[in-house]
C-alpha cells in the first residue's frame, strides 16, 4: 500500500506529466484535422485531463484540475507547441509514440491515486487501465476517429501490465516510486514492441482462420 | 416506495445480474471485431458496469463496482465464456437478445436504486431508462458501431415501459420484487415483439411519406 | 464574483432556458433520423441536460435535474414541438441557429454556476466552454453524426468569448446579469458571424497551403 502520508506529494507532478503527454496527442489530433488554435487548446485540455477526470469521478475524489488552473496552461502550451513545431514532426508517428508513453504513465498514475484513496488493489489496477485508455478514447470520439483501442495491437494489455505491475510490486514492498517506474517501463516496453515489431496476443477466431 | 431497510439487500444480486448480461454483450462486440482476450475483458467490464456507473454518478451514490472486485471477475468470466463458447452461438442474434434482457433488467434496477436513494418517481423512471440505454451506447461508441438505439425499432420505449411500469406498480403498493419482475417482463416483451415481429411506433415523417 | 447569496435564485430559470434550447436541437437531430416520439424525448432530454450534467459532476454539485422533474417535462415539450411543428421549419438551419444560442447561453450559465461553487475564474471559463460544447457533442455522438465541433468554423472560440467575457466583466465589477448578457451576446454574435459570413480563425496548415 502507498502510505497515506505520501499522498500530498503524489498527484501534482505526476498528473502534470500525464496531462502534458496526452494534451500533446490531443493537439496532434486537432492538427490532423487542420483546426484553429482555440480548437487545438480544447482538444489538448480535454484529452489531457479526460482520463484523470474519469478516475476522479469513479473513486469519488475532487476532480484534480478543477482547483488548479495550471492544467489549462499545460493544454495551451501543448497546443502552441504542436502549432509551431509540428512541421518538424512526422505527426502520425509522434502521436502513436506519445500515446504509448501516456498509456503507460497514466496506467500507473491512475492506479496509484486509486490506492491512495483506499480502493482495493484489483479495482485499483482496473482504474489505472480505464484511466489510461479513456484519455485516448475521448480524443478519438471527439475527433470522430476509430479509437486507437480498436487497432488489433496490444494497447489495453500494456496498460494492464503497467498498472498491474505497479500494484503487485507495491504490494510486496517495493517502494512506490520504483514500483511505478518499473510498471510504467514494462507497460511501455510491451506497447513499444507491439508498435515496432507488431507483437500481438492471439486474436479471437485466428486459430480457426 | 421501496422501504429504506430493503436497500442493503437490493443492489448486489441485481447488479450482478445486470452486469453479467451486459458484460456478455460487450464481449460479443469484441468478438465481432476479433480482438484479443484482454480486450474482450475490457469491453465486458466497461459495457457491464457502464450503465450503472452513469446512474451512480448522477444520483450521487458511490460507484457500485469500485469497492467490490467481483464485478471485474464477472467481466472476466463473460470474456472467457464468449471466447470459448461463441463458436456455438450465432453471434448477432445472441447479442440482440441479450441486449433486450439487459435493457429490461437494467431499466428496473436503475429505477429501483434511484428510488432507494430518495430520487422522485418521475426522475427515477428517467434514471432507469438512461441506465439501461447507456450500457449499450458506451459499448457501441467503443466499438465504433452505429448505436443499437438508432435502429428504428422500439428500444428506448421498452426501457421506459420497464422502468415506468415498475415505478408505477410500486407506487400503488405492489411489492418491489413483483413490481420489478412485472416491469421487466413487460419491457422485455415489448422489445421482443419489436425484434421478432418488427413492432414499431410511428416514425417521424412516415405519415407524410 | 457572484455573491453567494445570489446562488439560490441563479440556477432554475437559466438552466430551464439552456435546457430548452439544447433539448430542441436534440429533438431536431432525432427528426433528421426519423425516430419515434419516445426517441425524440430521449434525445431531447439527454442533449438538454448533458452539458449541465457534465458541469455539475466536474464541480461536485448535485446534478441539477435529478431533483427536479421539470427538466423531463421540458424535454417532452421540446419533443412534441419538433414533432408537430417541424414541417414548418427548415430543419438544418433551425438546428444550427438554436445550437448557436445554446452555445452562448450555456457557456455563461456553466461559468456562472462554477463561480458560484467557488471555482476559480480561469477554470470557471473552461467549465463554461466544456458545458456549452459537450451538449452538442453528446447529441452528435448519440446520433452518430460528425460533431458540430469539427466543422472548421468558429464554435469553441464563441463559447470561450461568451464565458471569458462574462467572467472578466464580472471580475471588474459589472453586475452578474449584465456581464452574462453581454458575454452571451458577444459569443452569439461571433458564432452568428461564423455561420452567416463564414468567419474563421486561421486554420492549421493554411499558411502553408
ipTM: 0.89
Cβ neighbour number for residue B145 with a 10 Å cutoff:
14
Name the residue facing A31 among C137, C201, C204 (closest C-beta). Answer: C204
| pLDDT, position B24 | 92
Comparing A99 with B107, the larger pLDDT belongs to B107
Q: Does C85 touch chain B (CB under 8 A)?
A: no
Whether residue B62 is predicted with pLDDT greater than 70 in this model: the reply is yes
Contacts of C115-118 spanning 24+ positions with Cβ under 8 A: C115/C1, C115/C2, C115/C167, C115/C170, C116/C2, C116/C4, C116/C6, C116/C7, C116/C10, C117/C59, C117/C60, C117/C61
Mean pLDDT for A70-91 is 88
The CB density around residue B4, as the number of other CB atoms within 10 Å, is 10
Q: Is the pLDDT of residue B21 over 80?
A: yes
CA–CA separation, A103 and A18 (whole Å):
9
Q: Report the percent of chain B where pLDDT is more than 70.
A: 88
Residue B8 has pLDDT above 50, yes or no: no
Least reliable range by pLDDT among A96-105, A161-170, A199-208:
A199-208
Whether the CB of B150 is below 8 Å from some CB of chain C: the reply is yes
Q: Which of chain C's residues have a Cβ under 8 Å away from the Cβ of A30?
A: 204
Q: What angle do CA B18, B20, B23 make, to 5 degrees?
A: 105
Whether A208 maps to a domain, the answer reads: no
Give the residue-averaged pLDDT of A38-46. Answer: 92
Q: Is A55 part of a structural domain of the chain?
A: yes
Indicate yes or no: CB of C204 within 8 angstroms of CB of A36: yes
Range of the domain at B47: 4-200
* pLDDT of A10 strictly over 60: no
Question: Does A209 fall in a domain?
Answer: no
Classify residue B25 as left (phi > 0), alpha (psi -120 to 50) or beta: alpha
Q: How far is CA B71 from CA A9, B49, C78, C144, in A?
A: 31, 8, 38, 30
Mean pLDDT of chain C: 86
CB-based contacts of A161, cutoff 8 Å, min separation 6: A183, A186, A187, A190
Q: Which pLDDT score, from 0 to 100, does residue B9 have?
A: 43
Residue pair A35/A129 in contact by the 8 Å Cβ criterion:
no
* CA gap A24, A82 in Å, rounded: 7
Alpha-carbon distance values, A146 to A140, A190, B140, C117, C137 (Å): 6, 22, 12, 37, 16
Query: How does DSSP classify residue B2?
Result: -
Residue C47: its pLDDT value, please? 92
Instruction: Tell me, yes or no, if C148 comes closer than 8 A to chain A by beta carbon.
Output: no
What was the pLDDT predicted at B148? 65
Do residues B30 and B39 touch, judged by C-beta distance below 8 A?
yes
Chain B residues 22-61 with CB within 8 Å of chain A: 30-31, 33-40, 42, 45-46, 53, 57
Give B3's pLDDT tier (boundaries 50, 70, 90).
very low
Contact list, B84 vs chain A (CB under 8 Å):
none
More confident residue, C206 or B106: B106
- Whether A154 has a pLDDT exceeding 50, the answer reads yes
Residues of B with Cβ-Cβ distance to A130 under 8 angstroms: 46
CB C37 within 8 A of CB C79: yes
Quick check: is A75 in a domain? yes
pLDDT of residue A5: 43
Mean pLDDT of A91-118: 88
Sign of CA dihedral C71, C76, C78, C81: negative
**Span B3-26, average pLDDT:** 70
Please state, for a pLDDT cut of 90, what percent of chain C lies above it. Answer: 55
CB neighbour class for A189 (10 Å; exposed up to 12, middle 13-18, buried from 19): middle
Mean pLDDT of A87-112: 84
Sequence-ordered list of residues with C-beta below 8 angstroms from that of B164, at least 6 positions apart, any chain: B125, B183
* Residue in B with minimal Cα distance to A124: B66
Contact C204 A34 (CB under 8 A): yes
Alpha carbon A124 to its chain centroid, in Å, reads 15
Nearest to A156 among B34, B39, B68 (CB): B39
Task: Please name the residue that has the C-alpha cell 489495453.
Answer: A156
Query: Cβ–Cβ of B142/A149 closer than 8 Å?
Result: yes
Q: Is C206 a member of any domain?
A: no
Cell 438505439 maps to which residue? B149
| Residue at A19 is within a domain | yes
Neighbours of A97 (CB within 10 A): 17
Q: How far apart are CA A97 and CA A158, in angstroms?
A: 13
Position A207 in a domain: no
Rounded to an integer, the average pLDDT of B193-197 is 90
B115 touches chain C (CB under 8 A): no
In contact, A23 and A74? CB cutoff 8 Å: yes
Residue B191, C-alpha cell as written in the block: 422489445
* Per-range mean pLDDT, top range of A14-28, C105-119, C195-209: C105-119
Q: List the single residue in C58, C205, C208 with the smallest CB-CB distance to A66.
A: C58
Could you tell me which residue, A191 or A206, shows the higher pLDDT?
A: A191
Q: Report the share of chain B in percent with pLDDT over 90.
A: 55
Tell me whether residue B135 is in a domain: yes
Confidence of residue A1 (pLDDT cuts 50, 70, 90): very low
Task: Write out the H or E segment, with its range, that includes residue A102.
Answer: helix A91-116
CA distance linking residue B92 with residue B151, whole number of Å? 14
What residues of C are in contact with residue A39 (Cβ under 8 Å)?
A: 149, 156-157
Quick: pLDDT tens for C160-173.
Answer: 999 999 999 999 99
Decide if B163 touches C, using CB distance below 8 A.
Answer: no
Taking only the tens place, the pLDDT of each residue in B89-148 is 766 688 788 889 989 999 999 999 999 999 999 999 999 999 998 888 888 888 877 776
C-alpha distances out from residue A196 to A24, A33, A149, A183, Å = 21, 26, 17, 20
Cell of C165: 467575457
| All three cell numbers of C170 | 464580472
Do residue B87 and residue A123 have CB atoms under 8 angstroms apart?
Answer: no
* Confidence (pLDDT) at C209: 39
What's the pLDDT at A4? 44
Pick the residue with more confidence: A28 or B163? B163
Cell of A124: 485499483
**Three-state DSSP class for residue C147:** coil
Quick one: DSSP state of residue A88? G
Q: What's the total number of domains in chain C?
A: 1
How many Å apart are CA B76 and CA A32, to the nearest integer? Answer: 37
- Give me A115's grid cell: 490506492
Rounded Cα distance, A169 and A180, in Å: 8
DSSP category for residue A63:
P
Closest to C111 in 3D by CA, of C168, C60, C191: C168
Pairwise pLDDT comparison (B76 vs B39), residue with the higher score: B76
Whether the pLDDT of residue A174 is over 60: the answer is: yes
Closest listed residue to residue A30, CA positions, set C132, C198, C147: C147
Contact B156 C46 (CB under 8 A): no
pLDDT for residue C3 is more than 60: no
Amino acid at each position: 500500500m502507498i502510505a497515506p502520508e505520501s499522498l500530498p506529494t503524489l498527484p501534482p507532478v505526476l498528473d502534470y506529466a500525464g496531462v502534458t503527454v496526452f494534451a500533446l496527442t490531443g493537439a496532434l489530433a486537432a492538427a490532423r484535422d487542420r483546426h484553429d488554435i482555440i480548437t487545438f487548446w480544447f482538444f489538448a485540455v480535454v484529452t489531457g485531463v479526460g482520463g484523470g477526470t474519469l478516475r476522479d469521478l469513479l473513486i469519488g475524489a475532487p476532480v484534480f484540475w478543477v482547483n488548479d488552473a495550471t492544467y489549462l496552461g499545460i493544454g495551451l502550451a501543448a497546443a502552441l507547441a504542436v502549432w509551431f513545431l509540428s512541421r518538424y514532426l512526422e505527426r502520425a508517428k509522434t502521436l502513436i509514440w506519445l500515446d504509448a508513453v501516456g498509456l503507460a504513465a497514466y496506467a500507473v498514475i491512475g492506479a496509484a491515486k486509486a490506492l491512495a484513496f483506499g480502493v482495493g488493489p484489483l479495482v485499483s489496477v482496473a482504474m489505472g487501465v480505464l484511466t489510461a485508455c479513456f484519455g485516448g478514447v475521448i480524443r478519438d470520439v471527439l475527433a470522430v476517429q476509430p479509437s486507437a483501442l480498436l487497432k488489433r495491437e496490444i494497447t489495453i494489455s500494456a496498460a494492464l501490465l503497467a498498472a498491474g505491475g505497479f500494484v503487485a510490486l507495491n504490494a510486496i514492498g517495493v517502494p512506490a516510486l520504483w514500483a511505478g517506474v518499473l510498471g510504467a517501463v514494462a507497460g511501455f516496453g510491451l506497447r513499444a514492441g507491439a508498435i515496432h515489431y507488431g507483437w500481438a496476443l492471439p486474436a479471437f477466431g485466428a486459430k480457426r482462420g
